[in-house]
A and B are shown apart, each in its own frame.
Chain A
Amino acid sequence: AQRVTQPEKLLSVFKGAPVELKCNYSYSGSPELFWYVQYSRQRLQLLLRHISRESIKGFTADLNKGETSFHLKKPFAQEEDSAMYYCALTGAGRRALTFGSGTRLQVQP
């Protein structure tokens, strides 16, 4: 069975501070990992995927297969980063995503 764990329900940081949202997964095969974000009064949307190796809005995430982690990082948090962040995984068949429980990021001024 595949599982995604986001250990922090809430992460509160000050503007300009570094951010790391943790994501750990369990999957026996080769997974594809994603981060989705839901800003206040907006729809859930894709932030980034590990296969693209891209940086979106200053966020990056590296897949660490040894530690089975896909932590989301940003060196300097902005107030507009405040949102709910979900880590997600897809495995064999690649048909649907399994989401973690989410982490709410609060960036204080």
Chain B
Amino acid sequence: DAGITQSPRYKITETGRQVTLMCHQTWSHSYMFWYRQDLGHGLRLIYYSAAADITDKGEVPDGYVVSRSKTENFPLTLESATRSQTSVYFCASSPGLAGSNTGELFFGEGSRLTVL
């Protein structure tokens, strides 16, 4: 099925380990985003990408790395996981700019990460 998929859906890791969360979309949307969802904070933007090889920091980028070598993939890497990175991570894609008529965000199902 076409759409946006995230993997893994659940991950438990230990402090200091590297973790990569995958995001794949089949619509060829230009824009892709990573948000983290935490109680009391809602959704906070980590990184986003306007196109392949173009990425920008969001509100909370520290401790995360992204890449976008192909339009359809936007992996998020935690280089050395910390307990504060325990969260639910959402990937989203959009065909156009956020405020435009084509700017609707389509979200993945989320990846729940626990860092022990």
Residues on A lying within 8 angstroms of B by beta carbon are: 6, 9, 32, 36, 43-46, 51, 86, 90, 93-102
Contacts and interface: CB of A to CB of B under 8 A. Distances in A.
Contact of A94 (B41, B44, B92, B99): B99
Closest 5 CB pairs of A and B: A94-B99, A32-B99, A101-B42, A99-B43, A90-B98
Given A44-B107, A98-B45, A102-B42, 5 more contacts: A44-B90, A46-B105, A51-B101, A95-B98, A96-B48
Interface residues of B, number: 28
A97 B42 contact: no
Interface of B: 31, 33, 35, 40-45, 48, 50, 56, 58-59, 90, 92, 97-101, 103-109
Contacts of B99: 32, 51, 90, 94
